Chains A and B, each alone.
Chain A
Amino acid sequence: MKKKLIKFIFFLSILNIVNLNISFADTSKVDEISKNLRCLICQGQSIYDSNSDFALSVKTLISEKLALGNTDDDIYNFLKSKYGEWIVYEPEFNKYTLLLWILPLFLFIFGGFLIVRKVFISRF
């Protein structure tokens, strides 16, 4: 009887560990996706950081969609279709965001050029 009880407890603990691992795996994926999403009703917070009702609902939706077998891109695209490009931190490269992507690069090259010129002139 004692042995049976020990076996039963051992079986339950294994089940619990497996269950915990699954839930950890799910949570980390939800965290990963929600870190890339902007909380639209909060000030400068991601969905991951926020505990607003909106953010909590989005997190629930992400875990539901993951459970249904949706990929990361499916989830991002779904949320973009509902709230627009603004919900993702990294905007897509298209004609509307062209300047956003190009301008920092341009400023970096231009700044580099100015520094090189200044150094060059001061040395020679």
Chain B
Amino acid sequence: MKIRLSFIFILTLAVFILLVLFKSLFENKIYVPEKINNKIENISIREFYSDNDLELKNLFNNNKFILINIWASWCLPCRQEHEHLIELSNANNLTIVGINYKDKKNNAQKFINELGNPYDIILKDVDGTKSIFLGAYGVPETFIIDNELNVLKKYIGPINKENIIEIKTVIK
């Protein structure tokens, strides 16, 4: 009787753990922090093609908002979110800035050639230190900032369809 009870207990526990793990497979991989740093610094980042240093404030091109997307050719989730960035590239009022993170120039160029270029400007963060100035954790990561450099939204992980709808509402 005692053995049977402990067997039932272990079996229930195992089923419970398996259920939790199974459910987590379908969980959303993106994290949207509720509390974000209000403002980012007007830092200079090197341009991908010309090697000129560009200040963030000078990237707005008469648009009210900038979407900063940190990406790399070696990052698989970046491929996953790329189609959504292409979709956003038609949006008004928005400059899309890509920051190529710790990548090889050739590979980054191949990535863009293969999947399309949603970016108005591409910058590069060769050693990852510029991303720290933005308060980023890695790739992919996406920020929406206004022309006062206030961070309106921050997405840690690949952005999805729902996020695109949200971004379009923010930049209206």
- Residues of chain A whose beta carbon lies under 8 Å from any beta carbon of chain B: 40-41, 52-54, 56-58, 60-61, 64, 79, 81-83
Enumerate chain B residues within 8 angstroms of A61, measured Cβ to Cβ: 129, 132
The CA of A41 and the CA of B139, in the complex, are separated in Å by 12
Residue of B101, B127, B132 touching A82 (CB-CB under 8 A): B132
The reply to whether the CB of B135 lies closer than 8 angstroms to some CB of chain A is yes
- Residues of chain B whose beta carbon lies under 8 Å from any beta carbon of chain A: 37, 101-102, 127-129, 131-135, 137-139
Chain B minimum-CB-distance residue to A64: B129
Enumerate chain B residues within 8 angstroms of A52, measured Cβ to Cβ: 138
| Contact assessment for A54 and B129 in the assembled complex, using a CB-CB cutoff below 8 Å | no
| Contact assessment for B129 and A60 in the assembled complex, using a CB-CB cutoff below 8 Å | yes
In the A-B complex, list the 10 residue pairs whose CB atoms are closest, starting with the nearest. A57-B128, A82-B135, A61-B129, A60-B127, A61-B132, A41-B137, A54-B138, A60-B129, A57-B129, A54-B137
Residue of B127, B129, B135 touching A83 (CB-CB under 8 A): B135
Interface of B is mostly: loop
> How many Å from the CB of A15 to the closest CB on chain B?
26
| Contact assessment for B128 and A54 in the assembled complex, using a CB-CB cutoff below 8 Å | yes
Enumerate chain A residues within 8 angstroms of B128, measured Cβ to Cβ: 53-54, 56-57, 60
The CA of A81 and the CA of B138, in the complex, are separated in Å by 17
The CA of A78 and the CA of B157, in the complex, are separated in Å by 24
The CA of A56 and the CA of B101, in the complex, are separated in Å by 13
The CA of A95 and the CA of B33, in the complex, are separated in Å by 23
Enumerate chain A residues within 8 angstroms of B139, measured Cβ to Cβ: 53
Chain A minimum-CB-distance residue to B139: A53
The CA of A79 and the CA of B135, in the complex, are separated in Å by 8
> How many Å from the CB of B149 to the closest CB on chain A?
14
Known contacts A40-B137, A82-B37; A53/B132 CB under 8 A: no
| Contact assessment for A57 and B135 in the assembled complex, using a CB-CB cutoff below 8 Å | no
| Contact assessment for B133 and A82 in the assembled complex, using a CB-CB cutoff below 8 Å | yes
Enumerate chain A residues within 8 angstroms of B132, measured Cβ to Cβ: 57-58, 61, 79, 82
